[in-house]
């Protein structure tokens, strides 16, 4: 077993995001903003704010500032939920769509470069390994007592 696999697994996402941040900075987007836009785009318009936060992996209150900034940029709109006025649903604006297309193109080019030298079969196998590891991690996390 490779004892340093955990370190390698933790460094890779940071490196990947750093490259994306560098390439997306000319668009005036921080990591938090572009990740929020991409998650909303993939999830679809009208997501409750709490679901969007969960998808990104942050607490809902932490998302508020980012949504304020994206709203000021004219990239998202918050609307009250008709079923529950306490819930805010998030929508992309028309202005956001060309920007998201640029983000997606840059992300795709980065993905191609990061996976260079790997066969399609290797990438598929790696994805399967990651899914198994994530499943295992979620099972372990469920077993951990809250006060541990």
pLDDT tens string 1-42: 677 888 988 999 999 999 999 999 999 888 889 999 999 999
The answer on 97 and 143 residing in a single domain is no
The answer on 123 and 106 residing in a single domain is no
The answer on 88 and 143 residing in a single domain is no
Binning pLDDT at 50, 70 and 90, where does residue 139 land?
very high
CB atoms within 10 A of CB 135: 10
Direct distance between the N- and C-terminal alpha carbons of the chain, in angstroms, rounded to an integer? 27
Q: Give the C-alpha separation, 141 to 54, whole Å.
A: 16
The answer on 101 and 128 residing in a single domain is no
Q: What six digits make up the tokens of 3? A: 């004892």
The answer on 64 and 53 residing in a single domain is yes
Q: Give the C-alpha separation, 92 to 34, whole Å.
A: 12
Average pLDDT on 124-134 reads 95
The answer on pLDDT for 144 being more than 90 is: no
Binning pLDDT at 50, 70 and 90, where does residue 83 land?
confident
**Total of domains in the chain:** 2
The answer on 11 and 66 residing in a single domain is yes
What 8-state DSSP symbol labels residue 26? Answer: G
User: Positive or negative, the Cα torsion across 89, 20, 118, 108?
Assistant: positive
The answer on 107 and 78 residing in a single domain is yes
Burial of 45 (0-12, 13-18, 19+ CB in 10 A): middle
pLDDT of residue 145: 75
């Amino acid at each position: 077993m490779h004892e340093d696999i955990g370190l390698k697994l933790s460094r890779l996402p940071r490196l990947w995001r750093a490259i994306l941040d560098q390439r997306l900075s000319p668009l005036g987007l921080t990591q938090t903003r572009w990740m929020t836009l991409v998650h909303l785009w993939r999830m679809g318009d009208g997501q409750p704010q709490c679901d969007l936060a969960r998808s990104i992996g942050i607490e809902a209150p932490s998302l508020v500032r980012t949504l304020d900034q994206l709203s000021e940029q004219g990239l998202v709109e918050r609307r009250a939920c008709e079923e529950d006025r306490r819930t805010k649903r998030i929508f992309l604006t028309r202005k956001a769509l060309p920007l998201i297309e640029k983000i997606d193109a840059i992300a795709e080019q980065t993905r191609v470069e990061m996976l260079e030298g790997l066969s399609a079969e290797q990438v598929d196998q790696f994805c399967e390994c990651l899914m198994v590891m994530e499943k295992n991690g979620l099972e372990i996390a469920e077993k951990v007592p809250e006060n541990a």
